[in-house]
Chain A
Amino acid sequence: MSLVYLIPLLPFLGFAINGLAFPKLNKSIAGIIGTIPPLVAFALSLQLFLKFDGKAQIYTLAEWIKVGSLSIPFEFQVDQLSLLMLLIITGVGTLIHIYSMGYMSHDAGFGKFFAFLNLFVFFMLILVLGANFTVLFIGWEGVGLCSYLLIGFWNQKNSYGDAARKAFIMNRIGDLGFLVGIFLLIQNFNTTNYQSIFQSIASGNVPENVGLIAFCLFIGAMGKSAQIPLFTWLPDAMAGPTPVSALIHAATMVTAGIYMVIRANVIFELSPEVLHFVGWIGLATALLGAAIGLFQNDIKKVLAYSTVSQLGYMFMGLGASAYTASFFHVMTHAFFKALLFLGAGSVIHAMSDEQDIRKMGGLKSKMPITYFTFLLGTIAIAGIPPFAGFFSKDEILAHLYHHDFAMWCLAIVGSALTSFYMFRVFILTFFGDFRGTEEQAHHLHESPLSMTFPLMVLAVLSVIGGLINLPHFAGGNEFLAHWLAPILPEAGESAEVSFLTLEMGAPLLAAFVPAFLAIYLFGVKKSVPGADESISGIQKVIYHKFYIDELYDLIIVKPISILGNFCFQVFEFLVIDLIVEGIGRIVAYASTEFRRIQTGNVGYYIFVMVISITLILALSLRTWIL
């Protein structure tokens, strides 16, 4: 047994213990049992990472699916990409488990929460460790399930359950595309193993429908990573507890789509049209998410739309074949977005579950650690150097600049919007006067160490995370690019950026100017967004998320429910019931008629018997004679 198997096994054990022992287990023990598996898994991943010799290792656990000539073993692959993902998942996961011990301490479902979190970590590890698309798909579905369970964690509230179902169903749409993609791969290559497929392609066996395969795979990524048109579940997913939002809906699960595209880069590289499509979908999502984020007043909703928007950036990078840059952004985004979500959670915790930023303000003095770490996260996501977000976003932008100028311009706009809405939230939350109730003001407190410790660690990572792929112009050696080089295509990885040019200046301008604008508007002029009714015009449209949910409701949900009602009320009664109940009625009627011949009189039975025997005898005599 290799230690690799232990990495996913440990969280599963944690899930089993906590899941079976809930609710008998003491809270503090449940928290420790839940937190230790990801911590140990992190240590194991780190050890694997340090000992890694540059060659991808395959660990075959068992024969799994064997049909005809098709054989799909249950196998794990440890290589450059999965190692980094392992570190992110277990590392950020551990921090969020620690945070949850503080955040969920008053919740009755504490043990259940940790069981679900562990199950999520288990499936996420399966997802990134899988050596073929089928194993990846198990993890893919598993994290979807855990996402559903955790979004609807507080299932006493109907709307939360709806949000969970929405997330699950929207993901299913994407999953169907992904599944079709896998089937097409099996049809063309007779295997789903990454290395076999890529070697087959490298040896010149390029199927004709490679574009379709890439497109189907991308549909899967669209669902999981919340891209247009399947993005509306992610903001609703904020119904879940905040650590869940941080772990699943910001740092790890939603980046599974990007992971998958990077993993399948060989396939995507063969179809430039699909890559082009990926880029534009990413751009549209980035802009839409950022625009909606501008006017949201729910602190978690802003972060959710920001996540949608940042995921858009990652797909833009993929569209420009800038895989390293995209993965770099996945990493830094995991740090700063988890930080921001956890910071928001800390604020919500202190505000007694208030999420509206119009009712916050002036929390700076009451919550210094949360304030300072949130500030660092805001600076990182806004793209202000030398924080992590600057390097990763700038690398994507640099590639876009050489790839497609129009895309680059629009991406800069999105970047400016990001900077604006983040500083808006930051200022409204931590500066100015407190706008909440007396009771909330009285209750305000800094969160316990279990919550502030992960904040501090993530804040440090958000600050120095850029070092992992520091570009040459800043004196770095592009560690990540060299690290990932063996699994990525050769070309398109040389985007040298020089100072004091348009491509360097514009992103900086887009980061600083909106930030100052937001500080001026909300910090100096102290304007506070008005009540829901007072807004009008375009702002109202944006505030209501461009009415996209309503649009989907109108063109998809309503027709389906009308069809369902039609089937239920007409088809069901006229066709199904008629046939089924008709048969039943005939049998019932016939039996009531036939039971009359059973009189119960023995003499009558003997008489019938004699008559019958005589008849049979007569008939057989006839056949004998004839």
Chain B
Amino acid sequence: MQSIPEVLRTIPLTHYILFSSALFCIGILGVLTRRNAIIVFMAIELMLNAVNLLLAAFSSYYSDPAGQIFVFFIMAVAAAEVAVGLAIIVMIYRNIQSIDIGVLNKIKN
């Protein structure tokens, strides 16, 4: 029975880095290109998870549990953030019957 870090180490570190970067870029592209607030939100989560994955990978390669603890913190905070963010989106929808972030350009004036 292999421990989880050992299993993680069966894949080379470069792959983790490339995969995380790809996930992160997909997240950025999602944030930049999509108009729907929920999808933007999901893209942000994607970026967070890209970072989480990388943290877990480095943690096991360097045998340092701190990275995994960070991952738990990020997850907890992201969960709270999602709760608040979704609530805001719901409120926006109730007010203007739309969740298109294009309407948020009202902050100009």
Contact = CB atoms under 8 A, between A and B. Distances in A.
A158 interface: no
Interface in A576-626: 598-603, 606-607, 610
Interface in B32-83: 32, 35
Contacts of B31: 606, 610
A591 to B, nearest CB: 16
A600 B105 contact: yes
Contacts of A606: 31-32
A602 B107 contact: yes
B15 interface: no
A600 B108 CA distance: 4
A317 B48 CA distance: 101
Contacts of A598: 108
Contacts of A602: 101, 104-105, 107
A603 B107 contact: no
Interface in B85-107: 101-102, 104-107
B32 A599 contact: no
* Interface size class, chain A: under 10
A600 B32 contact: no
B28 interface: yes
Contacts of B107: 600, 602
Contacts of B108: 598-601
Contact of A607 (B32, B35, B109): B32
B105 A601 contact: yes
Given A599-B105, A606-B31, A606-B32, 20 more contacts: A598-B108, A599-B108, A600-B105, A600-B106, A600-B107, A600-B108, A600-B109, A601-B102, A601-B105, A601-B108, A602-B101, A602-B104, A602-B105, A603-B32, A603-B35, A603-B101, A603-B102, A607-B32, A610-B31, A610-B32
A610 B28 CA distance: 8
Contacts of A607: 32
B97 to A, nearest CB: 19
B36 to A, nearest CB: 12
9 residue pairs, one from A and one from B, having the closest CB atoms:
A600-B108, A600-B105, A601-B105, A602-B104, A607-B32, A600-B107, A602-B101, A610-B28, A606-B31
Contacts of B35: 603
Nearest to A604: B105
Interface of B: 28, 31-32, 35, 101-102, 104-109
A606 B101 CA distance: 12
A624 to B, nearest CB: 16
Contacts of A610: 28, 31-32
A610 B108 CA distance: 20
25 contacts: A598-B108, A599-B105, A599-B108, A600-B105, A600-B106, A600-B107, A600-B108, A600-B109, A601-B102, A601-B105, A601-B108, A602-B101, A602-B104, A602-B105, A602-B107, A603-B32, A603-B35, A603-B101, A603-B102, A606-B31, A606-B32, A607-B32, A610-B28, A610-B31, A610-B32
A602 B40 CA distance: 12
A59 B37 CA distance: 85
A601 B103 CA distance: 9
Interface string A555-590: 000000000000000000000000000000000000
Contacts of B105: 599-602
Contacts of A603: 32, 35, 101-102
Nearest to B101: A602
A606 to B, nearest CB: 6
A71 to B, nearest CB: 65
A227 B32 CA distance: 88
Nearest to B106: A600
A607 B106 CA distance: 18
A48 to B, nearest CB: 78
Contacts of A601: 102, 105, 108
Nearest to A599: B108
Contacts of A600: 105-109
B80 to A, nearest CB: 22
Nearest to B104: A602
Nearest to A610: B28
A598 B32 CA distance: 17
A497 to B, nearest CB: 97
Interface in A193-240: none
B95 to A, nearest CB: 16
A263 B2 CA distance: 110
Nearest to A598: B108
B99 to A, nearest CB: 13
A606 B31 CA distance: 8
A415 to B, nearest CB: 88
Residue from A600, A602, A606, A607 whose CB has the most chain B CB atoms within 10 Å: A602
Nearest to A602: B104
Nearest to A607: B32
Contacts of B106: 600
Interface string A126-142: 00000000000000000
A605 to B, nearest CB: 9
A599 B107 CA distance: 9
A606 B106 CA distance: 15
A598 B109 CA distance: 10
Most buried by B among A599, A600, A603: A603
A44 B109 CA distance: 76
Interface string A379-395: 00000000000000000
A31 to B, nearest CB: 67
A599 B28 CA distance: 20
Contacts of B104: 602
B70 to A, nearest CB: 20
A610 B27 CA distance: 11
Contacts of B109: 600
A602 B104 CA distance: 6
A600 B104 CA distance: 8
